[in-house]
Amino acid sequence: MSVKSAKSEGVELKLPNKTIELPLRSGTLGPDVLDIKSLAPEGYFTYDPGFVSTASCESKITYIDGDQGILLYRGYPIEQLAEKSDFLEVAYLLLRGELPTVPEKTEFVSTLKQHTLVHQQIFNFFNGFRRDAHPMAIMVGVVGALSAFYHDALDINNPEHRETAALRLIAKMPTLAAMCYKYSVGLPFMYPQNDMGYAENFLHMMFATPSETTKPNPILSRAMDRIFILHADHEQNASTSTVRLAGSTGANPFACISAGIAALWGPAHGGANEACLNMLHEIGDVSQIGKYIEKAKDKSDPFRLMGFGHRVYKNYDPRAKIMRETCHEVLSELGLEDNPLFKLAMALEKIALEDDYFVSKKLYPNVDFYSGITLSALGIPTAMFTVIFALARTVGWISHWNEMVSAPDYKLGRPRQLYTGWPKRNYPAES
Ligand code: CMC
């Protein structure tokens, strides 16, 4: 079998017995996509571990150009959104496709505020966990458990139900995330304050106590909001694809988002910001950077510089550029520029950006490098970093889930395989 020729309208594929034409589909932006749907009826599958050459779906939500370092949400560049918008406006945009008018935004925010509380019985779930449980383990459990509480809007074929489930998830994620933290340190849960902004309220639920409720610093609230914007969506990454795959079975949205949280937890994905901070603690001192850079280059050593490299961005990560600025703003606001950990991070960034190995392989600091440092400066414990990523990404996940479920031709996701195990063999005869 060989690919014979590429035509603008399709590609001829020579199979052993016949030649078929595979249509080429063009998107609004990005490379053309070869439509291989007709291969299976011919008795062939494609082989693409890690889905590096596979477009798993059609989507109108987010566009990435990894070579040029472009990220667009519904067509708007991430740089413009990070500067001019706020997280709830971005949430509206991702979910509904357009920026809201002022009355639309007011209505959206006020509806979300009606959903910020969680059912009081959810508190019991927390008590079932050990105090030292990883907060992502708790999040996988409690977000999945939401499906047991909100039976009134679980019909995935009903657009109003889907909308209600989406709003509930977006509104409740900060409450649940902050509860994870409060539980781990044995402090009382703080109720949401609906007169605060989304990020401000999250910082309030994280750090206020019933005996001390100072308003969060606006510069830090804005930094938190920016972290949420930058993590809100990222096309068909591992966790979003997980949400889509789970959703393709008809599973309810809370279960699907819980599956997404599980996929995000891994250190190659959302766990990288946590892994990055752990790595900085392991390196410990600027004098040790050289040793760790050598370890990262050594193929026989599994160590990698966490927070460097990206599957799609092979030039630079546009989110990292924005996050870097925010990171410096926060360090300066908090007077932390001379903190040894942050000095170490900045020295590592500089050395890696100049090192031949990293430069030639295009391994730039990614968004998680800077968001990890920023979150740490905000006083957020390392184990909570991926939870915050999950909180923000819930908007992207639920937008993709909704896009998939509302498409007229949505299908159960069911990849195939190249089987290399035993051929059929018989159970051993008794001796
Ligand atoms: N440190 C050292 N070497 C690296 C690193 C790194 N962080 N990342 C990639 N490489 C090397 C790798 O060893 C390979 O070398 P060679 O070609 O000689 O075999 C080459 O670069 C290509 O790496 P790859 O693993 O084939 O590339 P990938 O696209 O599959 O991996 C990645 C992308 C993000 C998994 C990887 O860069 C990595 O493990 N980075 C560290 C973890 C991290 O920061 N992840 C967060 C990604 S951003 C958050 C998100 O969007 O979810």
The whole-angstrom separation of Cα 174 and Cα 387 is: 9
pTM of the model: 0.90
**Mean pLDDT confidence for 179-193:** 96
pLDDT tens per residue, range 95-111: 999 999 999 999 999 99
Probe ligand 1: pick from 261, 265, 308, max atoms within 8 Å of CB? 308
Q: Is the pLDDT of residue 351 over 90?
A: no
Distance 397 CA to ligand 1 centre (A): 23
The whole-angstrom separation of Cα 385 and Cα 364 is: 20
Question: Given this model, what pLDDT does residue 45 score?
Answer: 95
Whether 134 is a known active-site residue: answer no
The whole-angstrom separation of Cα 287 and Cα 309 is: 23
Q: What does pLDDT average to over the chain?
A: 93
Please give the C-alpha separations between residue 29 and each of 69, 70, 218, 234, in angstroms, as whole numbers: 14, 11, 37, 16
- One of 204, 269, 317, 400 is an active-site residue; which one? 269
Q: Is the pLDDT of residue 32 over 70?
A: yes
Highest mean pLDDT among 145-154, 331-340, 361-370, 390-399: 390-399
Distance 314 CA to ligand 1 centre (A): 10
Q: Is the pLDDT of residue 380 over 60?
A: yes
Three-class SS of residue 19?
strand
Question: Given this model, what pLDDT does residue 311 score?
Answer: 82
Comparing CA positions, the residue from 231, 251, 272, 237 lying closest to residue 395 is 231
Question: Given this model, what pLDDT does residue 275 score?
Answer: 86
What DSSP character marks residue 173? H
Query: What's CA 161's distance to the chain center, in Å?
Result: 24
The CA radius of gyration of the chain, in Å to the nearest whole number, is: 23
Question: Given this model, what pLDDT does residue 338 score?
Answer: 86
Whether 195 is a known active-site residue: answer no
Comparing CA positions, the residue from 62, 64, 59 lying closest to residue 74 is 62
Atom of ligand 1 at shortest range from CA of 361:
21
Give the pair of three-digit tokens for residue 61.
């939500």
Measured by CA distance, the residue closest to atom 9 of ligand 1 is 309
3-state secondary structure 145-161: HHHHCCHHHCCCCCHHH
- One of 134, 234, 310, 400 is an active-site residue; which one? 310
Task: For ligand 1, say whether the CB of 307 is within 6 Å of any of its atoms.
Answer: yes
Q: Is the pLDDT of residue 337 over 70?
A: yes
Whether 317 is a known active-site residue: answer no
Measured by CA distance, the residue closest to atom 29 of ligand 1 is 311
Measured by CA distance, the residue closest to atom 19 of ligand 1 is 299
Comparing CA positions, the residue from 370, 362, 265, 357 lying closest to residue 309 is 362
Three-class SS of residue 281?
helix
Task: For ligand 1, say whether the CB of 310 is within 6 Å of any of its atoms.
Answer: yes
Query: What's CA 284's distance to the chain center, in Å?
Result: 28
Question: Given this model, what pLDDT does residue 289 score?
Answer: 93
**Mean pLDDT confidence for 134-153:** 95
Distance 268 CA to ligand 1 centre (A): 8
**Residue 391 CB neighbours (<10 A):** 29
Under the banding of pLDDT at 50, 70 and 90, the label for residue 3 is low
Distance 307 CA to ligand 1 centre (A): 9
pLDDT tens per residue, range 39-59: 999 999 999 999 999 999 999
Q: Give Dmax over CA atoms of the chain in angstroms.
A: 81
What values do phi and psi take at 192, rounded to 5? -65, 150
The whole-angstrom separation of Cα 25 and Cα 41 is: 20
